[in-house]
Amino acid sequence: MRIAIVCISLALVFSGCTKSPYKSPAPPFYIWNFVITGFIITEVLSGNRYTLPDEYGDFDDYIEIYNPQDTAVDLAGFGLTDLLGVVKYTFPNPTVIAPDTCLLVWCDDEAEEGIFHSTFRISSGGEWLGLLDTGGAFVDSISVPALPTDSAFVRDTITRTWRIDAPSPGKF
């Protein structure tokens, strides 16, 4: 399995889902300000059993964010959430993602484990997730469907559409 070491060492951060696909109110839109923000959510894993452990050996949920630009981006002050109207995780200052590189955020509700561990988990039954800018506006949001164990919701590298596929943490 090809796991970009550079991405893993960089730090991984990300998210969680909740049982009902719409436990939290899901925006009736699909936001993707790719050009404006320069980065997007590219993968979500909600049922991690064997895919990849965090630095504590926990096989936790994660969200992958990718920077497709030729220049680095800083997510300091941006946020992640699984509940509309509430910012559950805020990226530390700085959170620089190098060009063509991914960042993983563990969604394990174990913030004590490090700066890239969020305060929420992702339900394997499906859940809505949002990425917010420093002003609280949506940069990206997705309704993650129910996922089999060790199957991820991934964005296609060409079409940018979503599908359920094999996990590729740290690589887009």
Q: List residues near Ca ion by CB under 5 A.
A: 16, 18, 43, 54, 58, 60, 64, 82, 108, 110, 113, 120, 168
CA–CA distance, 44 with 85 (Å, rounded to integer): 21
User: CB of 172: closest distance to Ca ion in angstroms?
Assistant: 5
State in angstroms the smallest separation of the CB of 47 from Ca ion. Answer: 13
Question: In this complex, which beta carbon is closest to Ca ion, that of residue 104 or of residue 135?
Answer: 104
Please, what is the minimum distance in Å from the beta carbon of residue 117 to Ca ion?
Answer: 6
C-alpha span between 120 and 46 (Å, rounded): 11
Nearer to Ca ion, 135 or 167 (CB): 167
Q: Identify which of residues 39 and 120 has a Cβ nearer to Ca ion in the complex.
A: 120
CB 104 within 8 A of CB 62: yes
Could you tell me how far CA 169 lies from the centroid of its own chain?
A: 10
Q: How far is the CB of 26 from Ca ion (least distance, A)?
A: 13
Measured CA to CA, the distance from residue 80 to residue 86 in angstroms comes to 9
Tell me whether residue 40 or residue 135 sits nearer to Ca ion (CB atom): 40
* DSSP-assigned letter for residue 98: -
User: Can you list the pairs that 160-167 forms with residues at least 24 positions away whose Cβ atoms lie under 8 Å?
Assistant: 160/32, 160/34, 160/40, 167/43, 167/45, 167/48, 167/51, 167/52
